Structure 1
């Protein structure tokens, strides 16, 4: 089981020497308890204590990287069963399947589509992660040729799916330097595949439907020199996957079975319910999800869901505070105060750009809170507005001193006028009504 900070502290030297980089041993213990420090940072612990604490303070789900370079996919290193307890850290990699039995043109089309797909949402570029090449032909040379056609792992991370070691040998000769994920080691072939994973330094999936056997198989592969593992419990249904994935994560978080402390692999193709399976994998702990080529709507839905689930609930997505000109504004354009919650910003941006009204969006730093929450929580104040007007030299942009504030900030209007010397106009509560408000009310 995970140890609490005070339990860890009992094993530390209690000298407060600061050699670990923290002011006290208790502060170091608190960081260890949350997985934000490594036990090796303390030079004064004996090997036995380091082994003891290392086993209970490292992430319960091992960090595994698939691929190399900018588009590599780090997965695992998770600490909680439920997102609201803390956060989830590493979004699952969505890998689109191609087959070595397909025509070359079809493979190229899918690879290009995966490589070029970008969904922009609240200031972030959302992408698919890589290609899963399936050896349906059974021919090693054909498999290697399709892996080459998919870029060999140099531009997109790869999953190599085959049944025999000879096919893996051929594919890894092409792509082994780019850390593809090998799928999958079984009770029958694990020794050969673990040796291949060790030789090429690649992550390896272990596959069997029985959880005790899965844990034992993972242990064998790790002991054989292939420590970067994923677990494929071979689900037969969506409900089966959800139940099994939850059991695996619960065992990992509770540290009750070390052999289950790895990311989970989900192949949606056999389940025949791609959209639902994608959602289940994103919501329930999958680290790598293999999917067939996706329709546009399915791609956007999956990427949006993944972004939502893997956003820190304690740290809303934010935009940088400052002044944002819209539709080429001049000195008579309105100054529109709002907050740096990304969804608020991009919602207003869409309405204003569509309206064609030249304006300046004046973004105050409310730590990512929405307008109503920022007002209620004391994050949006007259002092903040006054300081931000000076910081961003807003007065130099326009020849007036009129500031439009959101309707939900109306209680602050008088205080803002007193603190800034600007005349405050209270705008609508709903951003959709802002263009109409400006057309009817804005006069400098």
Structure 2
């Protein structure tokens, strides 16, 4: 049986894969597991629940609150806020746990639930496995005054916005920023934070109606913000995804600045301010080779982890690093949060532009991005990819041909039934040819048909 939890909580088609019944059971199991871990020792537990604006989040958030309250947890309903806001508020209020209902950058019909422990930290794999094992187990239900209460959290947005602005090293006066909030969870808090920091803001993708989240807008659909930055003559653009835990940027000419370039720019800025612990940036195996070369040229070190911001964060916590993230725009700044925060990342990037007096395009020149081709191979048995001799022989053959001028990565998707084939090379043609060849081998060797 496949593991219920993926790389970022439980996710699937809302009301088909992720039902109200399953969500209630997950919430109850999470409460019991965290109680057993001693998270609630000696006091009545409290939780904060948030969601993005997709329609299914309304009943799934209600189901989460019902499950927790039935297990004796007092619940505070934060309403529509970004994932990093919920993580921040859990720590800021000192509550025992929390949950976010969101499918992040996925299309509106999907939804998901991710749990946080005390301090706003995502649960590790072992705790998620325990929650899954507790589903449907018998338990003693509290009654009377022992059941949890549900109340609104009225000042969550204000506390989060103040936190974002206070984190900045300098103001943003003089900057014109286009924000694409993906008709998502940051549609109100992100523009307000940028305005309070001094920026002039033009917003697109800021009219959520429950059905339009990520629909042609946000960090996975950059064409609109590229056009808007040029049309309005803005200094830069910041695009977040539906739950605003990631962001990508656009320079004044409409060119994309991805997560690797953002982290390189922020890493150098933090080093100048004496804030980059260990002079090290934590990245994943998907980060572009050009980024790794740029960090080395700048006198910075890097550590690579598996894909997923939770694994980046685990490494950061283990060794005290201050900056890490992913090419997709998940950037973690441990001085200010426990998870990727697209709004905070965008603010920090804008602050670097304002402080340096240089354009975003000039700052991004620190890194030369190697051509990278990523092919998602569907309809294959992803669990066999690491052990198949034919696939691994093909990988070694391509690596030998690249001879240090690029690299190859085959990775099982954590959330979908596919294998990702990634090749970097010194030319786009070479990267494409090699990736196509490897994808064909994966299809032939691992086909489910």
TM-score by length of 1: 0.23
- Structure having the higher helix fraction is 1
TM-score by length of 2: 0.23
Structure number with bigger Rg: 1
